């Protein structure tokens, strides 16, 4: 192996160490957030239900956006132009 490959491996290992440290920090922050929510009276089951509902909402919203996009292509307009027709806010 050339000296360059050792440098590349060293840089890769350092990048991985940094990424691992960042993930550990995110894990800790999430644990703290969960602990705070639990201390505020939320249960794990309730949190799981909210997460499940958010996933479902996002899937439905994605499907709606896809349909609006296809309709916009068929009509030759932008998706944004369809929003008023369906009483949608741009923030939706």
pLDDT band per the 50, 70, 90 thresholds, residue 25: very high
- Please state whether the predicted TM-score (pTM) of the whole model is above 0.75: no
Q: In whole angstroms, what is the distance from residue 86 CA to residue 18 CA?
A: 47
Instruction: Name the residue among 69, 74, 73, 68 with its Cα closest to residue 86.
Output: 68
Structure tokens belonging to residue 87: 């009483």
Contact 37, 47 (CB under 8 A): yes
Structure tokens belonging to residue 5: 């490959």
Average the pLDDT over each of 3-12, 13-22, 36-45 and give the range with the smallest value.
Answer: 3-12
> In this structure, what DSSP letter does residue 34 have?
H
Residue 14 Cα distances to 4, 9, 17, 45, angstroms:
15, 8, 5, 39
């Amino acid at each position: 192996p050339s000296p360059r490959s050792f440098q590349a491996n060293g840089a890769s290992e350092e990048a991985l160490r940094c990424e691992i440290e960042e993930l550990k920090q995110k894990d800790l922050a999430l644990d703290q957030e969960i602990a705070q929510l639990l201390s505020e009276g939320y249960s794990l089951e309730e949190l799981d239900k909210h997460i499940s509902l958010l996933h479902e909402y996002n899937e439905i919203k994605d499907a709606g956006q896809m349909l609006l996009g296809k309709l916009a292509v068929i009509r030759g307009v932008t998706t944004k132009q369809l929003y008023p027709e369906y009483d949608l806010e741009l923030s939706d």
